[in-house]
Structure 1
Amino acid sequence: MDERSEQLFYTGTYASRNERGIYVCALDIENGDLRMIGGVEGIERPSFLALHPDGSKLYAASETGEGELYAYQVDARTGELHLVDRKGTKGAHTCYVSVTADGRYVMATNYSGGNAAVFPAMEAGGLGDMSGQVQHTGSGIRQDRQDAAHPHSIIPDPSGQYALVCDLGLDRIVVYRLTEDGKLVAHREAVLPSGSGPRHLVFHPSRPYAFVANELNNTVAVFGYNERNGELALLQSLSTLPEGVIDVENTAADIRITACGRYVYVSNRGHDSIVLYHVDQVTGKLKTIEWVETFGGTPRNFNILSGYLVVANQDGNNIVSFAIHDEDGRLTRTGYVLEVPSPVCIEPTR
């Protein structure tokens, strides 16, 4: 690998335990070309991945009936993964994993189990015993998708004081105080319009705003965020679909913001597109700019790597790269496609 011209990334999939589940891939930062380097077997449905801030450890959510977290050591030169630990999450279908900015705690949500859990990140690469757990209860207005609580993500806030859980089943973002000993203490809630289905959340890198992808009503919500109080205030809601699109079954999926804080992207599964928004740096509000086809079905997840947006198309069985234009954030297809079975997560190395 030429470190000057390639960015490594990991791809999670819906593979069985006997198949390769996590792939090590590379993006050519000169032209957006993609290639596969290797990967690991032995984990079932590794649908979400998170790299430790020091880059030496990767955590994977195993989205099964008995949810688990896997911990891998990362080879600093090749990106190769070595399993060092696995822990049960005490809930079904672990669908999200994140790491606090200080690297002390690994957090996960169980979609069907309705709960969230916290584990200490051990220096040797493993996971300590579960330090905190919270259980959500209740339901929403959509009996097909909101029959119970469904925590879909847990995101540490920029201050490290709080963790925010997007609950698709309850139409709520629950803010927890993350204690020094790794426990979650209920703090506040932000309630979204009924049937929204909040899924994923990103913070602005330098301004007091948060942006949420709502899966069920295909919207992106803008919140003001008071970091000191851990408080969200809804400012705006916009569709993730073009006006007049009514004949496509769609669910919004992932959301990302560029490091400069000027561009927000959301993926649409069904419409099979990425929508670009410009961020007003004063008000935090979004302006819709364009939709770009993902050239593969069901873009469940995507990420931003070295000036490119890289999309995992779950039902297209491929990964597609787009160049991001600095001046306006618009996407241009590079023409490069990597064939991967059921890719559902893109996580870059440091």
Structure 2
Amino acid sequence: MKKPFLLLLALISFHITYSQNSYVFFGSYTPDKSAEGIYIYQLDTIKGKLSKITSISNISNPSYLSISNEGQFIYACTESKTPNAGSVSSFKFDPQNKSLTFLNSQKTNGENPVYLSLDHTGKWLVDANYTGSSISIFPIAEDGKINPIVQHIPFTEGSINPERQKSSHVHSVFFSPDNNYIISPDLGADKIRIFPFDNNKKEPLDISNSNFVKSTPGSGPRHFAFHPNKKWGYSIEEIAGAISSYTFEKGQLNLIERIKIQSKKESKDFGSAEILISSDGKFLYVSNRGIENSISIYGIQKNGTLKSVATQSSLGNHPRNFAISPSGKFLIVANMNSENVIVFKRNPKTGLLKKVSELKLKNISCVKIKNI
């Protein structure tokens, strides 16, 4: 009886895997509204090639994207890098009709929105405003539209770097694996802020019980990644070019170690950008812009510490953002200044990357991958 049962399970797994399509969503810095701003491509999960599905124009600087759990709705930071402006916008994606439709926008009450996260229930959208440093909270309606802002939390204090840290610069927002906290790196203040979050409240962010950890002065924490075991978290520090590893428990971060990214050149502003972990929890990846234009690869040890594996060229200029496919087979990096997207095949045993395809796209600042 065991063999037919196992065969049935294998067939079900095969059907689920191959009945889904893998889509790649690109955001960009596109101030010209007549130009395309958001692009959707389909990823060939065998060869790693990208085929265009649709795009949308008439939207200003959709610089960062967040995709709903089922892939039906796309949320974007819009009017980024626009003086006295800043908004978040929603779109509906229909893969059968290959269409992308604008739904609505809401003002962020903070200038230069740069990062968005949806909570695990899909009921809340949280936005990080970099220039007008603040966090904004929006409820999401059942039809995917963004309801008006319900919380707006500004920050002011800076740190020691006179060029980059005269004031606070909230750079990103992340939900903890249990959805009970928001983690927010502040590049300007050299802090990682932690806020309790309750998705059942009208104002879900608990400001009165927030806390933070200080990073090394002048380091500039930018993005954050949780390990699949939900116990460890990793912060990429943009200015210093370093990675800080933490344990995470009940809303508290405790430092495990801090390592500098290897470089043959000295720089006062290293330009590290994105940090992601493979779904098997074995490898951590970091992109570095500026003088490096590289992807640094680390093996994650049993105690949460990192061991350098390799540094590979991003094969372009200014790798602002990258994404790993749900299967872990591909890593796609957007080199914004050289206007090329590289699809790398990922070796699951070594973590190393091998180019399999390339796409020319202008001003790409964000990559997301979703199976639908």
TM-score (norm 2): 0.89
- Tell me the equivalent position of 1:11: 26
Change in Cα spacing, 1:185 to 1:79, as seen in structure 2 (3 Å) is: farther
C-alpha distance in 1, partners of 2:267/2:190? 24
Counterpart of 2:335, as a letter, is N
- Alignment partner of 1:196 is 2:219: yes
C-alpha distance in 2, partners of 1:5/1:67? 35
SS across alignment from 1:184: coil
Listed as ranges, the matches of 1:3-152 within 5 Å are 7-16=22-31, 17-62=33-78, 63=80, 64-65=82-83, 66-77=85-96, 80-152=99-171
Match of 2:330 among 291, 308, 317: 308
C-alpha distance in 2, partners of 1:170/1:153? 13
- Tell me the equivalent position of 1:163: 182
Higher strand content, 1 or 2 = 1
Structure (1 or 2) with the larger CA radius of gyration:
2
C-alpha distance in 1, partners of 2:313/2:114? 25
- Tell me the equivalent position of 2:13: none
- Tell me the equivalent position of 1:297: 317
- Structure 1 segments unaligned to the other structure (5+ residues): none
On the 8 A contact 1:256/1:303 being kept in 2, the answer is yes
Change in Cα spacing, 1:248 to 1:116, as seen in structure 2 (3 Å) is: closer
- Tell me the equivalent position of 1:254: 274
- Tell me the equivalent position of 2:346: 324
Match of 2:295 among 274, 284, 301: 274
- Alignment partner of 1:240 is 2:261: yes
Q: What is the root-mean-square deviation in Å for CA atoms of aligned residues?
A: 1.6
Query: Which one is further off, 185-194 or 147-156?
Result: 185-194
Alpha-carbon shift at residue 207 of structure 1 (Å): 3.9
On the 8 A contact 2:247/2:256 being kept in 1, the answer is yes
- Tell me the equivalent position of 1:223: 246
SS across alignment from 2:298: strand
Alpha-carbon shift at residue 268 of structure 1 (Å): 0.4
Query: Which one is further off, 10-19 or 104-113?
Result: 10-19
On the 8 A contact 2:170/2:184 being kept in 1, the answer is yes
Alpha-carbon shift at residue 78 of structure 1 (Å): 5.0
Alpha-carbon shift at residue 5 of structure 1 (Å): 9.0
SS across alignment from 2:39: strand
Alpha-carbon shift at residue 326 of structure 1 (Å): 1.3
Change in Cα spacing, 1:79 to 1:250, as seen in structure 2 (3 Å) is: farther
SS across alignment from 2:206: strand
Higher helix content, 1 or 2 = 2
- Tell me the equivalent position of 1:283: 303
Change in Cα spacing, 1:202 to 1:78, as seen in structure 2 (3 Å) is: farther
Alpha-carbon shift at residue 74 of structure 1 (Å): 1.4
On the 8 A contact 1:168/1:197 being kept in 2, the answer is yes
- Structure 2 segments unaligned to the other structure (5+ residues): 1-17
Counterpart of 2:275, as a letter, is I
The total of aligned residue pairs comes to: 343
Alpha-carbon shift at residue 4 of structure 1 (Å): 6.1
Alpha-carbon shift at residue 190 of structure 1 (Å): 0.8
SS across alignment from 2:255: strand
C-alpha distance in 2, partners of 1:38/1:88? 26
C-alpha distance in 1, partners of 2:98/2:182? 29
On the 8 A contact 1:5/1:29 being kept in 2, the answer is no
Alpha-carbon shift at residue 80 of structure 1 (Å): 2.7
TM-score (norm 1): 0.94
Alpha-carbon shift at residue 95 of structure 1 (Å): 0.3
C-alpha distance in 2, partners of 1:161/1:79? 36
On the 8 A contact 2:54/2:100 being kept in 1, the answer is no
C-alpha distance in 2, partners of 1:337/1:238? 32
What percentage of aligned pairs have identical amino acids? 27
C-alpha distance in 2, partners of 1:201/1:260? 17
On the 8 A contact 1:255/1:265 being kept in 2, the answer is yes
The superposition leaves residues 117-147 of structure 1 with CA deviations (integer Å, 9 ceiling, x where unpaired) of 1111110110112122211121110111001
